[in-house]
Structure 1
Amino acid sequence: MITEPVSDSVREISPGLSLRGIVPPLRLRDFKLIAFDMDSTLINIECVDEIADAAGRKAEVAAITEAAMRGEITDYKESLRQRVAMLKGVREEQLAQVYRARLRLNPGAAELVLACKAAGLKVLLVSGGFTYFSDRLRDRLALDFARSNKLEIVDGQLTGRILPQSWGDICDGAMKRETVLRTCSLIGCDPSQAIAMGDGANDLEMMDAVGLSVAYRAKPRVRERAKVAIDMGGLDRLLEVFGHA
């Protein structure tokens, strides 16, 4: 395994960047896949919360989202169904408004994606959020793969339901892990040659399955289990862990 821990000790290698049980520099080109969570990791918002704002229910939905991300709600699928049900009646143009006016790439996101692609890695976006946003980000950043949940839209309005897809019903933590492992198999990559980056409890299963787990401004439970924790600065601070070779 590329990142076999030498101990479980944590050390800060520079302000806001700490490592658990690994010694840099690693080589980025020794990895073959990087998997990103979307909401609050690759991008600055929780999309479901911002859509709920259009329905006048942001506080209610955001409270459930926060509890789910902290790991206080064990059934992610049911929590997402509850939140999506509250979005019934939101118009499709309001989704577009969230994308245009509220969604921003987190600092360093584009730079990290470019660096990974230049080093030969494939890039996967795997999210408990929605295809409306993940597909646009996939195209915008020229990502190799994307998987997330599909909102049902009828007559230009959300129905409050999530549509099943060929791979299953809802992309929760278990599906994130399965997606990362299947992508590894698809590209001929051992899971130890994969990186997974996230911030919430539903990212832990995929983070535990790979060689290098990265917590980005993450919930305490996630930060405590990641091999790399970025608490300040942008996503591209991950590159500080790697050498130039």
Structure 2
Amino acid sequence: MQIALTLVSPDPDAAQQALAVLAPALAGCHARVKEPRPLGPVALDLLVEADAVAPVRAAAEAVLSDRAVDVCVQPWNGRRKRLLIADMDSTIIGCECIDELADFAGVKDQVSEITERAMRGELDFEAALRERVAMLKGLPLADLQRAYDERVRLNRGARILVRTMTANGAKAFLVSGGFSFFTSRVAQAAGFQADRANTLIEAGDSLAGTVGEPILGREAKLAALNEEAAALGLDLAETLAVGDGANDLAMIGAAGLGVAYRAKPIVAAQADAKVDHADLTALLHFQGYAVSDFVTD
């Protein structure tokens, strides 16, 4: 079968240098490498002929584990996806919004510890969310906008990823275990066509310390993937999901290409590909997009 092996690195020389060690490793699993195709200054695409994806992926990841190179191995056909489902906190943006709200409430250390454990899969997500939101009771609503303005920034490549995929006919959906106050604004800033998240309950001009039910967690993210794919008449093989925490595992596992971005170990171990070094445009290179294809406006 024909397999796409894509190398992406922030170091312009790293992807090219990786070929020297990659070729013999692939030969060891009876894979034949075709001529590499540059996708840009920091990305290379290889057409590989082999019997199966799994041995090629294992060989490539093993030999490149100590290099600043992100690797994606997948079937060549069908790699351009028609639906993007993306997590928000620490994936599309560089922070956890609930931790930033907690900072304004003076309880960031306590909340951040719970957030970290929940994202590692050590705590029940829904119970952990209720516990953290309870600590925000009495926080002025004005601090939500202040947190967005002062703390929330798109991760590098986020807007290019979304704009390029949608310009090529895909739908981009932002789905978060965080809060709709932030997803609505981040979706607009990045170019997502829809968003789904939890709702913070208000009490006058401050937070009530509760969250709307049912809570959007792991299964709800998977449901969003399935529902959006069905609405578009897509097979799940035509979808891409990206996230960093344990509540992203179900959608990452179900998507045609599931990507772990700067992810917790439990997520990185189960995803089809990881992005630990490059920015979010790596997800475009994984689909075969060259830099010249990027929509940057």
Q: Is TM more than 0.5 here? A: yes
Alpha-carbon distance, 1:136 to partner: 1.1
Give the length in aligned residue pairs: 236
Q: 1:114 aligns with which of 163, 188, 194?
A: 163
- 2:130 corresponds to: 81
Structure 1 portions without partners, runs of 5+: none
Is the Cα–Cα contact under 8 Å of residues 126 and 217 in structure 2 kept in the other structure? yes
Unmatched 5+ stretches in structure 2: 5-50, 291-297
2:216 corresponds in structure 1 to 171
Q: Distance in 2 between matches of 1:240 and 1:142?
A: 19
Q: 2: distance between equivalents of 1:36 and 1:88?
A: 29
Q: Report the structure number with the largest CA radius of gyration.
A: 2
Indicate the residue corresponding to 1:91 in structure 2: 140
CA apart distance, 1:25? 8.3
Q: After the TM superposition, which of the residue ranges 228-237 and 79-88 deviates more from structure 2? A: 228-237
CA distance in 1, matches of 2:52, 2:121: 25
Equivalent residues of 2:180, 2:196 under 8 A apart: yes
Q: 2:110 is matched with which residue: 24, 45, 60?
A: 60
Partners of 2:78 and 2:261 lie apart in 1 by: 19
Deviation of 1:18 (Å):
2.1
CA contact (8 A) 2:162 2:191 kept: no
Cα distance between partner residues in 2 of 1:244 and 1:60: 42
Question: How many percent identity over aligned positions?
Answer: 41
- Cα distance in 1 between the residues matched to 2:173 and 2:289: 23
- Aligned match of 2:121: 71
User: Residue deviations 1:40-96, cap 9 Å, x none?
Assistant: 0000000000100111100000000000101111x2111100000000011111111
- 2:69 maps to amino acid: G
Letter in 1 for 2:83: L
1:34 corresponds to: 84
* 2:278 is equivalent to residue 236 of structure 1: no
Name the SS for the 1:34 alignment partner: strand
Q: Report the AA paired with residue 149 of structure 2.
A: R
Aligned to 1:213: 258
Distance (whole Å) between structure 1 residues aligned to residue 211 and residue 89 of structure 2: 17
Higher RCO, 1 or 2 (CA under 8 Å, sep at least 6)? 1
In the TM superposition, residue 115 of structure 1 has moved relative to its aligned partner by 1.1
Residues 1:95 and 1:179: Cα distance change in structure 2 (over 3 Å):
same
Q: Partners in 1 of 2:85 and 2:160 — Cα distance?
A: 15
Q: 1:156, CA displacement in angstroms?
A: 1.3
Aligned to 1:44, what secondary structure does the other structure show? coil
Aligned-partner SS, 2:199: strand
Q: CA deviation at 1:114?
A: 1.0
TM-score by length of 2: 0.75
**Corresponding residue number in structure 2 for 1:17:** 70
Letter in 1 for 2:280: L
TM-score (norm 1): 0.90
Question: CA 1:157 to 1:241, structure 2 compared with 1: closer, same or farther past 3 Å?
Answer: same
Q: Distance in 1 between matches of 2:168 and 2:54?
A: 28
Q: Deviation digits for residues 129-179 of structure 1, max 9, x if unmatched?
A: 000000112222332221100001121100001123xxxx11100110011
Write the distance in 2 (CA, Å) between the matches of 1:229 and 1:23: 16
Q: CA RMSD for the aligned pairs?
A: 2.1
Letter in 1 for 2:223: E
The whole-number CA distance in structure 1 between the counterparts of 2:109 and 2:149 is 22
Whole-angstrom CA distance in 2 between matches of 1:198 and 1:153 = 28
The one of 162, 173, 185 aligned to 1:124: 173
Query: Is the alpha carbon distance of 1:176 and 1:201 closer, same or farther for their aligned partners in structure 2, counting shifts above 3 Å?
Result: same
Secondary structure of the residue aligned to 1:153 is: strand
Alignment of 1:130-141 (within 5 A): 130-141=179-190
How far apart are residue 24 of structure 1 and its match?
Answer: 5.7
2: CA distance, partners of 1:204 / 1:16 = 23
Please give the alpha-carbon distance, in whole angstroms, between the structure 2 residues aligned to 1:230 and 1:5: 22
